Amino acid sequence: MFKGRDVLAITDFTREELERLFRAVDEIVEGKVLASRVLEGCIMATAFFEPSTRTRLSFQTAMLRLGGGYIDLAEVTRTSIAKGENLADTIRMLDSYADIIVIRHRIEGAAKFAAEIAEAPVINAGDGTRHHPTQAMIDLYAIRRFQGRIDGLVVGVLGDLKYGRAASSFIYGVTLFNISKLFLISPPSLRVRDEVKEYLRARSVNYEETEDLKEVLHELDVLYVTRIQKERFPDPMEYEKVKGSYIVTRSLLQEAKDKLVILHPLPRVDEISLDVDETPHAKYFEQAKLGIPVRMALLKLVLRGD
Ligand code: NCD
C-alpha cells in the first residue's frame, strides 16, 4: 500500500490508505512509542530550496526517533547548485546517497520531477503553490484526534486559498471524507483556484465561498486558518491591498461553538491574535506537535511497508 511509494499529492491517496496511516500514528501516539530502531541503517535526504522550520525539523526528528539518519542539503549558496548544477543532477546524487528524499521547492511540479529521476521514494514537502501532502495528513489526523471524527463536520478554511499549498492540500484532503459542509473564506482576490473548485464540483462536495468569517463562524466545527503567502504575490502592491484583511480574535470567537477546533499549518503572522492561544479552541501548537508521529508513521510505512 505504501512501500516504496512517492508521496506527491494528497489526491493520490484513498480514504482507506489514510486510515491505515492514521492507525499507525495512533500506535505511536497512544502506545507512546517515542523511539524505536525500526529504520536503523536508513538514510533520508532533506532538500529544502524554500524556508522551513517545522517540516524539515519534524522529518529529521521523525527519522532520528526511528533509529535512522539524515543528510541535509545545505543552503543553495553552499552547494554545487551555486556552481550551476541543475536540479536533476542534484537529485541523482541524493538518490545515490539516501533511501528516501524529502524535497521542498518553489517550482510547481518539482517533487514530481524529482520522483521521475530518483529511484528512491520522494516525499513532496511543498511545491510552490500546489501541494503539501504531509501537512494535509497531519491536519486530517489532528481533526480526527481533536473532534473524534471527520465525517459529518462543518469545516471552514480561512485565508489565502489562491497561493496557499497547505490550504489547497487540506481542501483536497477533507473531500476524501464525508464532511457535511465546506466554507471557503477569503478576501475576493485570494479565492480558491478554479482547478480546486472543479475538483470539489466533480466530487459533489457541499461548499460555499464567502468573504465574511463572522457570518459563518457559528456553524463551524473546524476552522483552518492560513497566512497570506506574501512571497508568492507577483505584485507587492497586491499584497499590500489584502494585508491584515482577516484576523481571528478572541472576541469574535464568542460566536463559535464550544467544540470549535482552530487549526493552522503555521507559521502564523497576524491572522490569529495571540490571545486566542489561551482559548480551548486553539489546537495549532498541538497540531504541529503531531507532525512528528504522523511523519514517523509515514516514513515507516514507505520504507518498510508495515
Ligand atoms: C506551510 C507551507 O510551507 O506551505 N508551512 C508548513 O509547512 N507548515 C504553510 C505556510 O508557509 O503558510
pLDDT value at position 33? 78
Residue 80 pLDDT level (bands cut at 50, 70, 90) = confident
| Nearest atom (ligand 1) to Cα of 104 | 3
DSSP letters for 128-180 = TTTB-HHHHHHHHHHHHHHHS-STT-EEEEES-TTT-HHHHHHHHHHTTTT-S
The answer to whether residues 172 and 11 touch, using CB atoms and an 8 Å cutoff, is yes
User: Measuring CA to CA, which residue among 22, 25, 7, 6 is closest to residue 177?
Assistant: 22
| Nearest atom (ligand 1) to Cα of 132 | 4
pLDDT tens string 135-166: 999 999 999 999 999 999 999 999 999 999 99
Whether the predicted pLDDT of 32 surpasses 80: no
Residues 6+ apart with CB under 8 A from 171: 157, 161, 182, 184, 192, 196, 200
Distance 88 CA to ligand 1 centre (A): 24
The mean pLDDT value for 236-251 works out to 95
Q: Whose CA is nearest to atom 12 of ligand 1?
A: 227
The pocket around ligand 1, CB under 6 angstroms, is made up of 54-55, 126, 132, 135, 165-166, 226-227, 265-266
For 236, phi then psi, to 5°, come to -55, -30
The model's pTM is 0.97
pLDDT value at position 299? 98
pLDDT value at position 78? 80
Side chain identity, residue 115: A
Whether the predicted pLDDT of 260 surpasses 80: yes
pLDDT value at position 74? 84
The answer to whether residues 59 and 102 touch, using CB atoms and an 8 Å cutoff, is yes
Whether the predicted pLDDT of 95 surpasses 90: yes
End-to-end CA distance of the chain: 9
The answer to whether residues 168 and 130 touch, using CB atoms and an 8 Å cutoff, is yes
The mean pLDDT value for 69-85 works out to 87
Distance 105 CA to ligand 1 centre (A): 12
Whether the predicted pLDDT of 34 surpasses 80: no
**Residue 202: CB atoms within 10 Å:** 9
pLDDT tens string 164-202: 999 999 999 999 999 999 999 999 999 999 999 999 999
Question: Which of 132, 137, 284 maximizes ligand 1 atoms within 8 Å of its Cβ, making it the mutation to test the pocket?
Answer: 132
pLDDT tens string 39-67: 999 999 999 999 999 999 999 999 999 99
Whether the predicted pLDDT of 93 surpasses 90: yes
Q: Which helix (H) or strand (E) holds 112?
A: helix 110-117
| Nearest atom (ligand 1) to Cα of 265 | 8
pLDDT value at position 81? 84
